[in-house]
Amino acid sequence: MSLPSDFLWGFATAAYQIEGAVEQDGRAPTIWDTFCNRPGKIADGSSGTTACDSYNRTADDIALLKSLGATAYRFSLSWTRIIPLGGRNDPVNQPGLDHYVRFVHDLLAAGITPFVTLLHWDVPDELDKRYGGLLDKTEFGLDFEHYARVCFRAMPEVKHWATFNEPWCSAVLGYNVGQFAPGRTSDRAKSSEGDGTTEPWIAAHTLLVAHGRAVKSYRDEFKAAAQGEIGIVLNGDAVFPWDPADPRDVEACERKIEFAISWFADPIYKGDYPESMKRQLGSRLPAFTPEEAALVHGSNDFYGMNHYTANYVKNRPGTPDPEDVAGHLDVLFYNKRGFCIGEETQSPWLRPCAAGFRDLMVWISKRYNYPKIYITENGTSVKGENDLPMEKILDDDFRVRYYNDYVRAMATTVSLDGVDVRGYFAWSLMDNFEWAEGYETRFGVCYVDYDNGQKRFPKKSARFLGPLFDKLIRKEGQ
């Protein structure tokens, strides 16, 4: 069990979750700034206004990464720091762009490889107001392509780009459930606007076409000189049938992954949406024009895989609800025999199951002809962690066990199953603004003391990963 000698590992973060400084150096609001200002949307009534203050602590964060032995760092850019109003005819904010140029330079000087995500959910608020953001395929695609080109031109040293983080979350949680910005949903108790039967499919289609546009721009204008790569980051959970003897539950497992992962990966690797989605959604699922299909098909140099948990899946009889986004099935933590998939965490959706991680890596590899994979996020919250005294939070044995099991499962599938994994990023470098859960949930390997100047303190898990990867990564010549 081993990993390649050039295997990269490190930690991941996202701009809105850690940067703070929301009005500093010309930054303008994102849809998350606006969403957080709406009462009742964030569990503790908080926002990313200060977060971890990482915008003003880049040197501290680089020193922290270096001290933990990380060889790579995945982070996202804030579009509204670079183009505050977001549009292709709007001015570029040089101080914001210069900030990221310096940060990339400083990371490289410290021997840390930057993996840069162009958009991690924080769409410019002005674009949402101007034309509905992700609901306007043409305008958003052109604006995102322009923004991407500005970044590619300014940071040629970056060799690893991701267009979007978890488009499933943007589409489903933002336009169906209403739990994430911009908070649109058919549920009028939650939002006065939105149609959960159509908008998630429109938003996802917009993201795919915009991804294709940015990739084409990179390949046409920048890739040869930069010698870099570009892809998209997709989330997805592992699945097991609620009743393995029931072929309907077995088939529902396949459908569950298709509605979560293949919704985006099939158009990229196969040229169109999965048949299961077409059957259930009919005309509500947008069709690719020939031009769009040409942009999207083949538009990944690598597969960015975010993964945390697993579920038992049970087929649901009857006719699908028009609001359904999962594939007309039940997602459960207990199977027919009463076995639980894993221990509770602070996150109601997350229970550890490292065996599922291996299964899903194999599933993705087989379906998409063994692409190069980066594990762009993997990690866990700990039940009750935020209520513990700091010394107990730092002693996070539960998270240590999680990482040990998951990283070893990854090394096993590389060694035995032929899965081509090239890098791994633990989520997250530090505790941060956990979206709708505010600061009540901590995912960091480093504790952030929000009450005392956002100081960082490495937990046991932070010190654990370096020696683990040192054991697993083959040395040159081995």
Active site amino acids:
166, 377
Coil, helix or strand for 111? Answer: coil
Which of 411, 417, 392 has the alpha carbon at shortest distance from 465? Answer: 411
Residue 328 to residue 275: CA distance in whole angstroms: 14
Give backbone dihedrals phi and psi of 269, rounded to 5 degrees, phi first: -100, -20
Residue 418 to residue 315: CA distance in whole angstroms: 31
Structure tokens at 476: 């040159």
Say if CB 385 and CB 443 are below 8 A apart. no
Give Cα 212 to chain centroid, integer Å: 18
Bridge-partner residues for 457, per DSSP? Answer: 447
Structure tokens at 306: 């975010």
Q: What is the dihedral of CA 110, 115, 119, 122, to 10 degrees?
A: -40
Residue 315 to residue 250: CA distance in whole angstroms: 8
Coil, helix or strand for 377? Answer: strand
Residues ≥6 apart with Cβ < 8 Å to 287: none
Computed from CA positions of residues 427, 431, 435, 439, in that sequence, does the dihedral angle turn out positive or negative? positive
Residue 72 to residue 314: CA distance in whole angstroms: 39
Please count the other Cβ atoms lying within 10 Å of the Cβ belonging to residue 180: 22
Residue 357 to residue 377: CA distance in whole angstroms: 12
Ordered DSSP codes for 54-104: GGG-HHHHHHHHHHHT-SEEEEE--HHHHSTT-STTSPP-HHHHHHHHHHH
Residues ≥6 apart with Cβ < 8 Å to 328: 255, 280, 315, 316, 320, 321
Say if CB 236 and CB 307 are below 8 A apart. yes
Ordered DSSP codes for 230-272: EEEEEE--EEEESSTT-HHHHHHHHHHHIIIIIHHHHHHHTSS
Residue 146 to residue 284: CA distance in whole angstroms: 29
